[in-house]
């Protein structure tokens, strides 16, 4: 890829050295070797002249992040900071203004500027102000608000969500979708009895809404992102179902889950061992977690084909086999070093089929789907 096509060039972070015709020539020479630059003294694709500088970051200005969870936490942090010392300067952000409008607090003086800020904060753990529309305790309606979409790979696999809905089939499941505005998400939540989800931007919004919360963690140690917040910590979807049923029988019992210094990350070894063995390499793992997901219909179609498959491996054993009472493999589970040298067509891919069915670009090693 050409350097001029990268986000680094688009961000104008290196203009100062790049547009220094003489002082930056050594830098551009190195760049030309690795980034498909036609000539060392190339013209700027953004129209900058020699000697121009790029984006100037102001050390007195707070920069606003892009993701919802970080914006929500940063908005609360900035309100507290502006209360202590007036005024503070913040890079102009429509999303930040949207968040501030939803919070039930008198926002102190904040000066907005088009200048990019150099002040980046780690707002996790700061006090969250309540939203104007708040959840209030009410007689149980058996309506459960859920949000399982996240930008990270802690998003539950489809079968876990299906099993959750099956286990809670006597309850009304109300889903928060990505195309909903923050205000719509809040309005949806306040009519429900509780919220269940993963660590996401919506989860941070729910802290301010004040609704009883059940967060499913999977591999990630989410405690540092939800420091000083009360919720029920669920290591698996099965535990979440159990805790929610207790909610209706015994009441909500939240806790503060503080990060513990030097503690090893929480790890649901089962689900992540499965993901790690999906492709047999880190590159495959990255591809799997980043690729588009198959539709629910396609997932079910693949599952039925595999369950009906009677193909055998080199030892005359059926390829399709249960790993336990929930997960299936194609051939012997590739959990040991020798499994990496297998002939996948002959002996199966050795992966967890439940996970492989999810990936849109995945395919059967014997071309059955």
pLDDT of residue 341: 58
The set of residues, in sequence order, having a beta carbon less than 8 Å from that of 115 and lying 6+ positions away, is 56, 58, 61, 89, 91
Residue 130 is assigned to a structural domain of this protein:
no
Query: Does the pLDDT value for residue 208 go beyond 80?
Result: yes
**Single residue among 195, 222, 256 that ends a domain in this structure:** 256
155 and 115 within one domain: no
103: nearest Cα among 134, 81, 64: 134
334 three-class SS: coil
366 against 4, higher pLDDT? 366
294: nearest Cα among 369, 353, 352, 358: 358
Residue 213 is assigned to a structural domain of this protein:
yes
pLDDT of residue 38: 75
pLDDT of residue 167: 93
- Looking at residue 327, the DSSP 8-state letter turns out to be -
Query: How far apart (Å, rounded) are the C-alpha atoms in residues 115 and 7?
Result: 19
pLDDT of residue 66: 84
37 three-class SS: coil
**Least confident segment among 206-220, 254-268, 321-335:** 254-268
166 and 248 within one domain: yes
The set of residues, in sequence order, having a beta carbon less than 8 Å from that of 155 and lying 6+ positions away, is 148, 149, 198
**Single residue among 199, 224, 256 that ends a domain in this structure:** 256
224: nearest Cα among 122, 314, 295: 122
Q: Residue 217: pLDDT band by 50, 70, 90 thresholds?
A: confident
Residue 23 is assigned to a structural domain of this protein:
yes
49 and 64 within one domain: no
**Both tokens assigned to 14:** 């290196």
133 three-class SS: coil
- Find the mean pLDDT for residues 221-238: 89
Residue 138 is assigned to a structural domain of this protein:
no
pLDDT of residue 249: 94
SS3 string of 55-109?
CCEEEEEECCCCCHHHHHHHHHHHHHHHHHCCCEEEECCHHHHHHHHHECCCCCC
Residue 244 is assigned to a structural domain of this protein:
yes
**Least confident segment among 41-45, 51-55, 357-361:** 51-55
pLDDT of residue 291: 60
274 and 204 within one domain: no
Question: What's the mean pLDDT when you consider all of the chain?
Answer: 82
176 against 10, higher pLDDT? 176
pLDDT of residue 14: 77
Residue 25 is assigned to a structural domain of this protein:
yes
Residue 368 is assigned to a structural domain of this protein:
no
**Single residue among 55, 83, 98 that ends a domain in this structure:** 55
* Backbone conformation region of residue 329, classed left if phi is above 0, alpha if psi is from -120 to 50, else beta: beta
Query: Does the pLDDT value for residue 287 go beyond 60?
Result: no
**Both tokens assigned to 80:** 């507290």
**Both tokens assigned to 62:** 């707070």
Main-chain phi, psi angles of 237, to 5 degrees? -70, -35
Query: Does the pLDDT value for residue 314 go beyond 90?
Result: no
Query: Does the pLDDT value for residue 183 go beyond 80?
Result: yes
- Find the mean pLDDT for residues 364-368: 90
pLDDT of residue 193: 97
Q: Which domain holds residue 96?
A: 57-119
The label of the residue with tokens 């996790």 reads 124
Query: How far apart (Å, rounded) are the C-alpha atoms in residues 239 and 214?
Result: 10
Compute the half-sphere exposure of residue 125: CA atoms within 13 Å on the CB side of its CA. 8
Query: How far apart (Å, rounded) are the C-alpha atoms in residues 191 and 211?
Result: 10
Q: Residue 339: pLDDT band by 50, 70, 90 thresholds?
A: very low
pLDDT in tens, 249-267: 999 999 988 776 655 444 4
- Find the mean pLDDT for residues 240-245: 94
Residue 61 is assigned to a structural domain of this protein:
yes
Report the CATH number that the domain containing residue 161 is assigned in CATH.
Answer: 3.40.50.2300
337 and 298 within one domain: yes
79 and 38 within one domain: no
304 and 227 within one domain: no
71 and 45 within one domain: no
pLDDT in tens, 64-102: 888 899 999 999 999 988 888 778 889 888 899 999 999
31 and 99 within one domain: no
208 and 274 within one domain: no
339 and 278 within one domain: yes
Considering its fold, how many domains does the chain have in total?
4
289 and 313 within one domain: yes
Q: Beta-carbon neighbour count of residue 76 at 10 Å?
A: 22
pLDDT in tens, 132-175: 999 999 999 999 999 998 765 467 777 888 889 999 999 999 99
pTM: 0.63
């Amino acid at each position: 890829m050409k350097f001029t096509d990268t986000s680094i060039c688009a961000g104008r972070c290196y203009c100062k050295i790049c547009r220094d015709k003489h002082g930056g020539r050594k830098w551009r020479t190195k760049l030309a070797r690795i980034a498909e630059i036609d000539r060392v003294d190339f013209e700027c694709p953004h129209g900058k002249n020699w000697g121009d500088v790029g984006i100037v970051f102001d050390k007195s200005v707070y920069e606003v992040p892009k993701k919802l969870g970080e914006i929500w936490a940063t908005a609360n942090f900035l309100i507290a900071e502006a209360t202590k010392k007036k005024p503070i300067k913040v890079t102009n952000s429509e999303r930040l203004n949207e968040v501030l409008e939803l919070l039930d607090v008198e926002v102190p003086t904040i000066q907005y500027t088009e200048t990019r800020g150099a002040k980046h904060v780690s707002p996790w753990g700061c006090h969250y102000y309540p939203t104007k529309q708040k959840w209030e305790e009410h007689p149980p309606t058996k309506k459960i608000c859920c949000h399982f979409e996240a930008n990270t790979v802690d998003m539950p696999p489809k079968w876990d969500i299906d099993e959750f809905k099956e286990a809670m089939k006597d309850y009304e499941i109300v889903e928060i979708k990505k195309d909903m505005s923050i205000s719509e998400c809040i309005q949806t939540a306040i009519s429900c009895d509780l919220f269940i989800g993963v660590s996401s931007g919506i989860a941070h919004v729910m802290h301010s809404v004040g609704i009883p919360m059940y967060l499913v963690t999977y591999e990630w140690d989410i405690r540092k992102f939800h420091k000083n917040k009360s919720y029920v910590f669920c290591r698996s979807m099965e535990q979440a179902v159990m805790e929610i049923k207790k909610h209706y029988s015994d009441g909500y019992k939240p806790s503060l889950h503080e990060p513990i210094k030097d503690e090893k990350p929480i790890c649901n070894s089962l689900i992540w061992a499965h993901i790690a063995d999906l492709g047999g390499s880190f590159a495959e793992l990255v591809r799997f977690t980043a690729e588009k997901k198959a539709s629910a219909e396609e997932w079910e179609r693949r599952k039925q084909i595999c369950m009906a498959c009677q193909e055998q491996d080199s030892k005359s054993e059926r390829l399709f086999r249960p790993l336990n009472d929930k997960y299936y493999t194609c051939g012997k589970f590739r959990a040991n070093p020798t499994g990496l040298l297998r002939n996948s067509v002959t002996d199966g891919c050795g992966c967890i089929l439940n996970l492989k069915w999810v990936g849109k670009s995945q395919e059967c090693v014997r071309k059955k789907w």
